[in-house]
Structure 1
Amino acid sequence: MLLKRTLLNSAIVGLFATASVAANADLSSRYSDTDGDMVADIPADTAQQVDPNTLIFAYTPVEDPAVYADVWADFLDHLSEATGKRVQFFPVQSNAAQLEALRAGRLHIAGFNTGSVPVAVNCGGMRPFTIMASEDGSFGYEMEIITYPSSGIRSVDDIQGRELAFTSPTSNSGFRAPSALLRSEYGMEADENFDTAYSGSHDNSILGVVNEDYEAAAVANSVLNRMLAREVIAEDDYTTIYTSETFPTTAYGTAHNLTPELQETIQDAFFSYDWEGTALKEEFSNSGEAQFIPITYEKHWNVIRTIADANGVTYDCD
């Protein structure tokens, strides 16, 4: 498999540095942020706090949600034991559906993909507190642009006049990062210099390339690695023509209006979970992940916010 590893060049890094000056919280008016940590406060009025008997958990949209219901089953049993509550897996079909469920109060704990985290924070009141990491504490994934071997596309320049599939407009590696990269480094604008398609998920984009439905696609290589490990695809099914710098991976968080005690208990459950011998470890070790570590939105999502700013993203939530 041809692999051309490329870091973001000085032009785009400069663009991100400029954008970072303007990066700040842009919460919906339905939330407050009195402590300045860029996420919604837990309501001070206890009448606005909720302590549901059943907690709803959702993992970021994937091609086959039923697979991940089994992957998360043992963890959700652990979460149920820790909280004393029933915990139900909610198989979301799209980023929009996941966000709407959070915003409407039907979702209490969720893993949002990298690019969707700012939307979930600003529009849905998500309070991110953890991501998956390797045993040594390192974390993250890269955006790759892939194509099928017989496409005739050998470099990013060859995308001119061809088709590039994105996942969804809220995705970091599936849309925002490649859009900023192609614009700044290659002078290419979507739907001007190349055609676009939206697959809905990284799994769909990968399978679309492998089945030659898409000429190329921008995807997260963490998803690629898991699909390779499950033998859904093979290494010779695709070619990588670009690999980005490392980005933070899926963030897990709680709805802002859960009681403080419940939010603390949920966080403790994530950090006390024993991965050994579980389906969660079997699945996510394929992308090098073996534990949950603490994060903050303000610090760990800075690069993602600046990418969004570089793309002119705003959050009109109200």
Structure 2
Amino acid sequence: MKAMWGLAGILAGTMSFGAMAQDGCPNRGDLDAAYCDADKDLVADTPSDPKKLKSPSNLAFTFTPLEDSAAYEKLFKPFTDYLAQCTGKKVGYLSLSSNTAEIEAMRAGSLHVGGFSAGPTNFAVNIAGAVPFAVIGNQKEYQSYTLIMIVRKDSAIQKMPDIKGKKVAHTSSTSNSGHLAPMALFPKIGVVPDKDYKILFSGKHDHSILGVQSGEYDAAAVASDVFDRMVERGQIKADAFRIIYRSDKFPTQAFAYAHDLEPGFRDQMLKCFYDYRFSDELKKAFAGSDRFFPINYKKDFFMVRYVSQSAGESFNRVAYDKQVAKEKEKK
């Protein structure tokens, strides 16, 4: 049977995390007060108190909520069925509407494992105790993507300086390719976001892409992998657009588990992830990638953190609260 989970359950599970602070923690870095990073690997340590460890009977899984949630629930169905069989747990797909909702779900204990977009991964680590362990990839390497600036093929915009004064879409303020990377990289080529053009937040990469197609936006900064998947699914035609900028590569996303999963169950679950080979539909959706490739957050997400810091962004509690407040103002 399909397990059902909702936002009400997420909110009901929210606790007072200040009260959970681990006394005597030698190092936290940017982690929230609920967590400790004694080994300085930048992620939350497993709680030393056995009473704080979880081995849920219903395992909640999700994928980054920046695209069509229903499509990805269907796409990952063979995997969630396999994960249920492999772990002996019921597995439900948790449909979420935003990066913030996904972070809050893990922080509240309503999400146990899932895929986070590259930029929000940093907030998930620091605010929700997420521990990244994999990126979609193949036998040799994990999948990567680039920041691209797209315009319609019939647009008069030919190069980056031409977007000055135009209607340009970013996705959300926590998105790596959809905001943080443009803020850090564009000034180096003579275009300063929110000065040379007004930032218009679309909310999602697919909204930005479709907005350019419809003429709502003159240009949009988006993730290349999202663009490619929309082409693959037939939602857009690649030759209807022109790419006027492409950055260096970033990891596409991070699959992360909640830091307080019981170690025996956690290790069993991780083996299930690493042993799984994608269905043909999943391979098609992810450009031929066929597995969850192991990663180290401290090493493999260095460039994502660097871009964010270069853009003047941080991923601590103060920055997160500001982000949440901004999102509420827009509703």
Shorter-chain TM band: 0.7 to 0.9
Structure 1 stretches of 4+ moved >4 Å: none
Indicate conservation of the 8 Å contact 2:182/2:193, yes or no: no
Letter in 2 for 1:267: L
Work out whether 1:314 is the aligned partner of 2:307: no
How far does residue 303 in structure 1 lie from its aligned partner after superposition? 0.6
Match of 1:193 among 190, 193, 196: 196
Work out whether 1:143 is the aligned partner of 2:143: no
The equivalent of 1:273 in structure 2 is 276
How far does residue 69 in structure 1 lie from its aligned partner after superposition? 0.6
* Aligned-partner Cα distance in 1 for 2:66–2:146: 18
Q: Secondary structure at the match of 1:68?
A: helix
How far does residue 52 in structure 1 lie from its aligned partner after superposition? 1.1
* Aligned-partner Cα distance in 1 for 2:285–2:239: 22
Deviates more, 1:137-146 or 1:65-74: 137-146
* Aligned-partner Cα distance in 2 for 1:181–1:163: 19
How far does residue 135 in structure 1 lie from its aligned partner after superposition? 4.2
Indicate conservation of the 8 Å contact 2:60/2:92, yes or no: yes
The equivalent of 2:12 in structure 1 is none
Give the gaps of 5 or more residues in structure 1.
Answer: 1-23
Indicate conservation of the 8 Å contact 1:62/1:203, yes or no: yes
Deviation string 1:214-254 (CA, Å, 9 cap, x unpaired) is 11111111111111111110022211000110111110010
Work out whether 1:242 is the aligned partner of 2:245: yes
* Structure 2 CA distance for partners of 1:76 and 1:314, relative to 1, 3 Å: same
Give the gaps of 5 or more residues in structure 2.
Answer: 1-27, 319-331
Letter in 1 for 2:66: V
Q: Secondary structure at the match of 1:244?
A: strand
Deviation string 1:180-239 (CA, Å, 9 cap, x unpaired) is 1112221x3322210111111111111111111111111111111111111110022211
* Aligned-partner Cα distance in 2 for 1:293–1:271: 7
Indicate conservation of the 8 Å contact 1:115/1:171, yes or no: yes
Number of aligned residue pairs: 291
Q: Secondary structure at the match of 2:246?
A: strand
Deviation string 1:53-94 (CA, Å, 9 cap, x unpaired) is 101111101332111111000101111111110010011111
Work out whether 1:260 is the aligned partner of 2:236: no
User: Could you state the TM-score of these two structures normalised by the residue count of structure 1?
Assistant: 0.88
Indicate conservation of the 8 Å contact 1:74/1:279, yes or no: no
* Aligned-partner Cα distance in 1 for 2:224–2:252: 11
User: Could you state the TM-score of these two structures normalised by the residue count of structure 2?
Assistant: 0.85
Q: Secondary structure at the match of 2:282?
A: helix
Letter in 2 for 1:52: P
The equivalent of 1:178 in structure 2 is 182
* Aligned-partner Cα distance in 2 for 1:135–1:210: 36
* Aligned-partner Cα distance in 2 for 1:193–1:227: 29
Letter in 2 for 1:67: A
| Larger RCO, structures 1/2 (Cα 8 Å, 6+ apart) | 1
Deviation string 1:72-131 (CA, Å, 9 cap, x unpaired) is 001011111111100100111111111111111111001000111111001110000000
The equivalent of 1:202 in structure 2 is 205
How far does residue 138 in structure 1 lie from its aligned partner after superposition? 4.8
Deviation string 1:245-300 (CA, Å, 9 cap, x unpaired) is 0111110010111111121111101111122x44322321xx34222111011000
The equivalent of 1:67 in structure 2 is 71
Q: Secondary structure at the match of 1:128?
A: strand
Q: Secondary structure at the match of 2:256?
A: strand
* Structure 2 CA distance for partners of 1:138 and 1:41, relative to 1, 3 Å: closer
* Aligned-partner Cα distance in 2 for 1:222–1:123: 26
Match of 2:100 among 87, 96, 100: 96
Match of 1:251 among 237, 251, 254: 254
How far does residue 25 in structure 1 lie from its aligned partner after superposition? 4.2
Letter in 2 for 1:282: K
Deviation string 1:114-169 (CA, Å, 9 cap, x unpaired) is 11111100111000000011343252111100011233211100011112111111
Letter in 2 for 1:197: L
The equivalent of 1:77 in structure 2 is 81
* Aligned-partner Cα distance in 2 for 1:251–1:267: 14
* Aligned-partner Cα distance in 2 for 1:99–1:84: 26
Letter in 2 for 1:259: E
The equivalent of 2:6 in structure 1 is none
Indicate conservation of the 8 Å contact 2:126/2:316, yes or no: no
The equivalent of 1:294 in structure 2 is 294
